[in-house]
Amino acid sequence: MKFSNGCWLQKEGCACFSPAQVYFTKVEEDCVTLCAPTSRITSRGATLGGVNLTIKISAPYPEVLRVQTYHYMGVQKKAPEFELTAMQTGLMKAEDSEEVIKVSNGTLRVEVNKSDGKITFFRGEEKLTSSGAKDLAYMKTDWKGDAYNLRTDDAYMREQLTLGVGELIYGLGERFSAFVKNGQTVDIWNEDGGTSTEQSYKNIPFFMSNKGYGVFVNHPEKVSFEVASEMVHKVGFTVAGESLDYFLINGPTMKDVLVRYTDITGKPSLPAPWTFGLWLSTSFTTNYDEETVMSFVNGMIDRGIPLSVFHFDCFWMKDFSWCDFTWDSRVFPDPEGLIKRLHDKGLKVCVWINSYIGQESSLFAEGAEKGYFLKRANGDVWQWDMWQPGLAIVDFTNPEACKWYASKLEALMDMGVDCFKTDFGERIPTDCVYFDGSDPQKMHNYYTYLYNKCVFDVIKKKKGEKEAILFARSATVGGQKFPVHWGGDCWSDYESMEESLRGGLSLTSSGFGYWSHDIGGFEATSTPDVYKRWCAFGLLSSHSRLHGSTSYRVPWAYDEEAVDVVRFFAELKASLMPYLYRNAVETSKTGIPMMRSMVLEFPEDRNVSYLATQYMLGDSLLTAPIFNEDSMANYYLPEGRWTNYLTGEEREGGRWYTEKHGYLSIPLYVKEGSIVAVGAENKKAVYDYADNVTFRVYALADGKTANTVVYDTEANPAASVTVDRKGDTYTISVESSKPCKVVLINVGGENKTIEFTGSDKVVVNC
């Protein structure tokens, strides 16, 4: 939100009340409180009026400082609040002198100058950012100079943190605009706007700087960010009301920031291994019945394409009846039998749901009578005609409504349904009343958390924690605990393919560990060319789903070559499951995403600062999708030796490459010093990853050591290898109860294979 008129003035009617000094301090064991008048106190009489800010600084987590600023502290606190992990004590150290107060937590320190109220954050002796005159401020937008004006509806709290030369900002949720957020105005407000606008389904009030720190604004309601867009050397953030709460999170690397941020807001849950296989959907508004479904499934099987999940989109329920959670008997007369037949083919079953109950649904009257829906101020059920005529919205602040909704899902799971696609959750009204009295402004974004948590908990209850999985569109802070999220409604062209990737990399820079998108695009129907390129991209994402709007997404609907492409990349992904699942396990422990931006992996390389047309899939595989009908790949390899995973060709990094690729190819490069575990199976996602696994060792430099581990499907370590190189001598240590191979790639111009029958240590001279 912009308040200023240039550097010196405010917009007409705006008034800025910013700390002019620190008048006194109060130091307690875990909190420092500052009294910060917004005009200088020149006499005792000056203390009798005027706007005063109270600032509280604390250290709730390691290497994190919290700054809470209040104008009126007596404002009633309203739900909801983000669910954060328990805050710690004993981390803060304070030094209070006549000129400055210093608050430290590990290597992170904030200094507040008492003479002018300037706030400066340091890591050791390195300045990270600061807040000076007119930055931290109480803002009024309809100010007429009347100190006795009791209005609060024009009141905002703002902070502006300085940016250094070359400093870039990332994150703020799944945003389809430019990957680097400098120059953008970003409102944290969930909306259903597709992937081609500034709107976003997943808004996260958290950003990271390439200087290795992050800022989390602890407000569920709308937060407005001005990222070098109002004051071009500052990041501003604003909330309506009388207080502002933010955390400054130290790195020192951006990966460290994500680890600490997800320590606060929750780690991504670990999806089951089967979820990494290929998902196939009926598509959105297509006509389908059991015969159609089985023709798709059998068509994939007959063509040798590995398939893991079949998804039924909206019309598994009767039109106008969404959601009644009842199969449309006209097209699915035997749903339990159908689900069993799909299970017998080795598939899991997912069905589409949302949290809206249309007026024609058999559940509407019951939900209305029992008070399970959002209401208007006069007590009426809140309804509108968008999406489903006369729909009502389930009120997840009502525990009984949660149980009611959950019971409908449990009945489906008793039929054999394995998981749910939790669609929507963004168009949540603010002119409504919640059962528990929650503030509807705060609930607009937060609603998705309660919705997805309710569904996720149902699956955990019925299937166990290790099997819990969603396919969710909307999210807020903490939503990463309920994976997986997909990118939403994109068009079926190269531009949308690229913007989808930007959105995904922005989301995974915001604490989300896993991500998917509609392969081939959602709206309209892509050309066969776009479809085949998108399939390569989609099957080299953490999660992969074929889904569309008005047309089917089975590959033979495009051309026969598309069948070969889907098969090739589905088999490639299945063979990489030992590597991918190890990365997934590590993501669930650390919060570092499986699909990560180049700048997250190579923060010192300035060539990748703005790069969002390629990514790292895990810690070792660089993936560069092709975004043009000319079949030309344009990609950058950072410094070092890189090996083409598909061809074995080595290339030197530190430069860009342009080359032509067929449809069974994509730039897929292995970082030097990596060990990639490759499975003995390529026809399914779930198998014994340690049995006959091949450990491929790439470009290990002299004097270096590399190691990796393979997990079983229960996320237990099942095999490991360590390779140490000294000159031409490689010392290889394997820990495993199963046979395996170690392959030294491109050593002396050839690949050298060493076979192991179990745990052993060998020395190889090359």
| Residue positions annotated with a catalytic role | 423, 426, 489
Provide the token pair at 423. 């669609």
Token pair, residue 618, equals 């895990």
Amino acid identity of residue 462, one-letter, is: K
With a CB cutoff of 8 Å and minimum separation 6, the contacts of 102 are 94, 95, 96, 109, 110, 111, 112
Q: How far is CA 737 from the centre of its chain?
A: 36
Exposure string (b/e) for 367-397, b if CB count within 10 Å is 16 or more?
Answer: bbeeebbbbeeeeebbbeeeebeebbbbbbb
Decide if 543 contacts 515 (C-beta within 8 A): yes
Which residues lie closer than 8 Å to 380 by C-beta, 6 or more apart?
none
Are β-strands 309-312 and 348-353 bridged in parallel, bridged antiparallel, or unpaired? Answer: parallel
Output the six-digit token pair for 581: 């699942």
Evaluate the omega torsion of the peptide bond into residue 323 and state whether it is cis, within 30 degrees of 0.
Answer: yes
Residue 549 CB-half CA count within 13 A? 12
Rounded distance, CA 425 to CA 445, Å?
9
Both tokens of 158, joined, read 């703002």
The bridge status of strand 419-422 relative to strand 348-353 is parallel
**Phi/psi-derived region of residue 145, left when phi > 0, alpha when psi is between -120 and 50, beta in every other case:** left
DSSP state of 317: B
State the DSSP string of 137-190. EEEESS--S-TT----TTEEEEEEEE--TT--EEEEES--S-SS-TTEEEEE--
> Are residues 241 and 214 in contact, defined by beta-carbon separation less than 8 angstroms?
no
Structure tokens at 185: 């105005």
Amino acid found at 727? G
Tokens coding 540: 């080299």
Q: Which residues pair with 173 in a beta bridge?
A: 203
- The string of DSSP codes covering 605-660 is -GGGTT--S-EEETTTEEE----STT-EEEEEE-SSEEEETTT--EEESSEEEEEE
Give rounded-to-5 percent helix, strand, coil for the chain.
20, 30, 45
Q: What amino acid is encoded at 646 in this protein?
A: L
> Which residue's entry shows tokens 């030294």?
744
Return d(Cα 584, Cα 592) in angstroms, integer: 9
Residue 171 Rama label (left phi>0; alpha psi -120 to 50; beta):
left
Q: What angle, rounded to 10 degrees, do the helices at 290-302 and 335-344 form?
A: 0
Q: For residue 668, give the H/E element and its range.
A: strand 668-671
Question: Which H or E run contains 671?
Answer: strand 668-671
Rg over CA atoms, the chain:
28
CB 221 within 8 A of CB 131: no
CA atoms within 13 A on the CB side of 105: 26
Cβ atoms of residues 599 and 210 within 8 Å: yes
For residue 494, the cross-strand partners are none
What's the rounded Cα separation, in Å, for the pair 114 and 100?
5
